[in-house]
Amino acid sequence: MRHLTVRQPTIWQRPRRSATIGRGLRIVILSKNTIWQMETRTVRWLLVILISSVSLMAQQSSPDDQTGTAGNLAERLGYPADAKLLIVHADDIGLSHSVNRASIAALETGLVNSGSIMVPCPWLPEIAAYASAHPNHDLGLHLTLTSEWKHFRWSGVLGKLETPSLHDAWGFLHADTPEVAQKADLGEVEREIRAQIERALVFGIRPTHLDSHMGSLFATPELLDIYLRVGRDYNLPVMLPRDALQARAPELLARLPADLPLIDHLAMVTPLVPTDQWSAYYTRVLESLEPGVTEIILHLAYDDAEMQSVTLDHPEYGAAWRQRDFDFFTSERFAELLKANSIHLITWREIGKLQ
């Protein structure tokens, strides 16, 4: 078993349509700067799952290990307790050539300073070559159990023959997280996400963290437990936001292993933000950023013919959406906001050194 360094999954489920997901109204939960967008029932469901799974993890620790995660993460990273620390994180790298081009361009500005790669996707070789040539970039793995687009689909690394419960009748990964929750065999899930990590290593990627595409690995307590276990086995940090636990289950914080760093806040634009208010939304997020470690999740690409085809009939997280994210986070305006609000950029690589 290879041992690396990475951390923390995101607790949100990407909606497939703008009005509803088919089983409830879409809402935004604001826990200070933590922003999730999903249907009402799913929000409650995933919070319960998170709490249950973290409880299981804590119970598996010995009493000597259960010293909790008390202690300011900023201070543990060597910054003042009141420092405003930010990870600007590009999801879905490897999805397409357009995503790769935009993500690389954004990373090279230094303003977008982190991202995660989808190993099963067809443009993995391109981004793997770039990652190998730029080992100092903060690139993790976006563990993938879904294939959500209308005509642009992919299979898991192990394929339908080895992991039939993870694939649909056409041999593609399921289209959405509820299908994963209902149909996925746990053993097949664990083998698949381990295979994704191993394939990344073979391609020369040295990941700095793990997260979960469309939140599939938060769909049941058992799936989240697999996610946490694999992170521990590879010595990679996995994203868990402290403010969610603080709001819903503060007693768990004292029971978590002391070496498990938790980011403090998580933010992501939602379909409730009008397209002409994109810059204003991100400006408010940055101007109201609280002390601690915040991750802003971005989805980058160019609004070109390739990306328009990939995201056909799916304006949310589509080509224009991703172009707006790219435009804001590579702009002088964003750089000025960082400086004006005394925000310091950090990476998962730094957090991983605490593990």
Least confident of 157-171, 244-258, 312-326: 244-258
Which of 281, 315, 285, 317 lies closest to 300 in space, CA to CA?
317
User: Is 111 strand, coil or helix?
Assistant: coil
For residue 307, name the pLDDT band (cuts at 50, 70, 90): very high
Q: What is the mean pLDDT of residues 139-162?
A: 97
Percent of the chain with pLDDT over 70: 77
Residue 27 structure tokens: 């809402």
Q: Is 32 left (phi over 0), alpha (psi -120 to 50) or beta?
A: left
pLDDT score recorded for residue 7? 34
Position 40 in a domain: yes
Mean pLDDT of the chain: 82
Position 17 in a domain: no
pLDDT score recorded for residue 245? 62
Give the containing element (helix H, strand E) for 60: helix 40-60
Q: What is the pLDDT of residues 214-240, one digit of tens each?
A: 989 878 878 878 988 999 999 999 987
Number of domains forming the structure of the chain:
1
Q: What is the mean pLDDT of residues 84-108?
A: 98
Which of 193, 252, 215 lies closest to 45 in space, CA to CA?
215
Position 171 in a domain: yes
Which residues lie closer than 8 Å to 191 by C-beta, 6 or more apart?
158, 162, 163
Position 36 in a domain: yes
d(CA 289, CA 337): 11
Nearest 5°: the CA angle 139, 337, 36 is: 55
For residue 86, name the pLDDT band (cuts at 50, 70, 90): very high
For residue 255, name the pLDDT band (cuts at 50, 70, 90): low
Please give the residue range of the domain that contains residue 347.
26-352
Least confident of 100-114, 117-131, 183-197, 237-251: 237-251
For residue 78, name the pLDDT band (cuts at 50, 70, 90): very high
Q: What is the pLDDT of residues 267-300, one digit of tens each?
A: 999 999 999 999 999 999 999 999 999 999 999 9
Q: What is the mean pLDDT of residues 125-147?
A: 98
Position 18 in a domain: no
d(CA 348, CA 325): 21
Residue 196 has pLDDT above 90, yes or no: yes
Position 3 in a domain: no
Position 10 in a domain: no
pLDDT score recorded for residue 22? 30
pLDDT score recorded for residue 140? 98
pLDDT score recorded for residue 262? 85
Residue 209 structure tokens: 């963290």
pLDDT score recorded for residue 66? 35
Pairing type for strands 292-299 and 343-345 reads unpaired
- Look up the CATH number of the domain holding residue 268: 3.20.20.370
Position 20 in a domain: no
User: Is 345 strand, coil or helix?
Assistant: strand
d(CA 64, CA 161): 44
Q: What is the pLDDT of residues 156-184, one digit of tens each?
A: 999 999 999 999 999 999 999 999 999 99
Q: What is the pLDDT of residues 18-58, one digit of tens each?
A: 332 232 222 233 333 333 333 333 433 344 344 344 434 43
